[in-house]
Amino acid sequence: MDIVYVKGKNPYLIRPDGEQSQNIFKNINTSLSIELRAALHDSTKRNGMVKSNFQKVVLLDEVIRYVRVTVVPMSEKSRGGLSLICFQEEDSENFKSFDTKTVNNESSHTKELEFELAKAKEYLQTVIEELETSNEEMQSLNEELQSSNEELQSSNEELETTNEELQSTNEELQTAYTELRTIYDDKEEAGKEIVFLNKQYEQINNRLETALKGAEMGIYDYHIPILKEDVWSEQWAGILGYTQGELPHDKTNMIDWIDERVHQDDLENFHKRYKGYIAGVVENCRVRLRMKHKKGNYIWVENFAIASRRDEQGKVLHTVGTMKDITEDINAQLLLTQSKERLSLATKSANIGLWEMNSFDKGVYWDERSYEIFGVELGTEVTFELLKKLIHPEDLEVIHKDMNIAIQEKRLHSSLIRIVKSGTEIIYVQGSGNPIFNQDGIFKQMIGTYIDITEHIVKNRKKYPGMI
């Protein structure tokens, strides 16, 4: 409650040290603070005049006065309105004439109010401690999520690099195969050329083998239909826990041998993709599936096949490809999903919305609570045009500028946003975001929160003169 007007010199109003304040409880003599709070409470409750007990007050010149506070509401509804506060003082001699019984009764009422105030303070302290605990848990979950994102990004970058190297090596191998077949078919080619090409082929195979070992990939090379001499490499067999000698001796049985080890839930999709590839519907066959290891457990693998030769109708006659164990990548993705679910649960309990923005497509993704805060139907695509309609025009440019600065300075972004709902209704949202960068320091995404603070803004409107 702030002081609006003071008439005359009042020895019971004392300016506090440090920052100046108009709050009456920070300016009143401490001996009268409790009596004033009780009187204001009763005056609001009764909507009428209330007189407090007399309190002993020692002034600066050691003069003792007995002072009573009188509160008179200035309007019919005093809550949030103006009140007149008067100070009635008596010296020690005049104070003896007052009815001590009345004073004792009023003191008893004051104690009751003090007890209620103490209980309210205790409850408020409990709420503050619970909120601090929730904030600590959310911070921990945010750190876990960021760590998981960084690990997953690192794995993806390594996999992309390996795939690019493999693609380049496969193209070189395909070229070498084509040249080698042409030379063998040409009866006029000299033996020296054959020896030279064999050496070149051996060098390419060595490079391929080195690349595949580094990438922990196995290779296969077979015809359609499969021939007995077709090859599935030692490292390919090792991914499933076998040696090359434990594979079927007659390679025409390899497809059946593979089908027996593909997880039943993945078999139908695998056949569909593979048949489409062989028929020439798609250029290559990249599929993730589970295969049974020799030890009996299932592992996740990624299979990639590309045709080195097709017939006139585009059907595959000869194919080469690779297989890689991606179990650790799948587990990392599962861990990331679990972390997001735990973070979502924590934010739901704190009534907080989550959002995410990716650098590659500038798309914004909301959780269910964010849709509720903005008043948008769940599942609606979040576009820049939609945000322009929802966010107050004066805030949109500020948010864009703050986010760019946060990315440049690699720090947390925070903005107070006004949201226009239902055409005229305005709510106030505290938005924050944390930029995330890859190992090279390049921005890749921003993850943040939305908190509806409309009630706080309205209650403290004097602190936000430009927002209301």
Residue 32 CB-half CA count within 13 A:
31
Tokens of 295: 């030890």
pLDDT of residue 105: 55
What domains, with CATH codes, occur in the chain?
1-98 (no CATH), 145-330 (3.30.450.20), 351-463 (3.30.450.20)
Of 76-90, 308-322, 437-451, which has the strongest mean pLDDT?
308-322
pLDDT of residue 135: 78
CA quadruple 452, 457, 463, 467: dihedral sign: positive
- The closest of 57, 80, 82, 55 to 71, measured between CA atoms, is 82
- Please report, as a single letter, which amino acid is at residue 343: L
Q: Which of 9-13, 84-88, 408-412, 434-438 has the lowest mean pLDDT?
A: 9-13
pLDDT of residue 78: 46
pLDDT of residue 120: 59
C-alpha to C-alpha distances, 155 to 317, 360, 437, 447, nearest whole angstrom: 34, 18, 15, 20
If you ran DSSP here, which 8-state letter would residue 283 be given?
S
- The closest of 66, 63, 44 to 55, measured between CA atoms, is 66
pLDDT of residue 316: 95
Tokens of 11: 């020895």
Average pLDDT of the segment spanning 74-83: 64
Task: Give the position of tokens 């139908």.
Answer: 268
Measure the CA–CA gap between 143 and 447, rounded to whole angstroms. Answer: 12
Measure the CA–CA gap between 149 and 349, rounded to whole angstroms. Answer: 23
Q: Most distant CA pair in the chain: distance in Å?
A: 137
Average pLDDT of the segment spanning 354-365: 77
Tokens of 167: 């693609």
Measure the CA–CA gap between 355 and 370, rounded to whole angstroms. Answer: 7
User: Which class for 144: exposed (0-12), middle (13-18), buried (19 or more C-beta within 10 A)?
Assistant: middle
Give the tens place of pLDDT for each residue, 91-134. Answer: 665 665 554 445 555 566 666 666 666 665 666 667 677 777 87
Residue 286's contacts (CB-CB under 8 Å, 6 or more residues apart) are 302, 303, 304, 305
pLDDT of residue 321: 93
Radius of gyration of the chain (CA): 39
Task: State the SS3 of 74-86.
Answer: CCCCCCCCCEEEE
Residue 52's contacts (CB-CB under 8 Å, 6 or more residues apart) are 35, 36, 38, 39, 68, 69, 70, 71, 106, 110
pLDDT of residue 80: 57
Mean pLDDT of the chain: 82
Higher pLDDT, 259 or 133: 259
**Neighbouring-strand partners of residue 325:** 301
- Three-state DSSP class for residue 438: coil
Tell which phi-psi region holds residue 339, choosing left (phi > 0), alpha (psi between -120 and 50) or beta: alpha
Give the tens place of pLDDT for each residue, 163-222. Answer: 888 888 878 878 877 877 777 677 667 667 777 676 765 766 666 566 556 557 899 999
Cβ atoms of 306 and 320 within 8 Å: the answer is yes
Phi, psi (degrees; rounded to nearest 5) at 101: -65, -40
Residue 367's contacts (CB-CB under 8 Å, 6 or more residues apart) are 344, 347, 353, 354, 355
pLDDT of residue 225: 92
- Three-state DSSP class for residue 413: strand
pTM of the model: 0.38
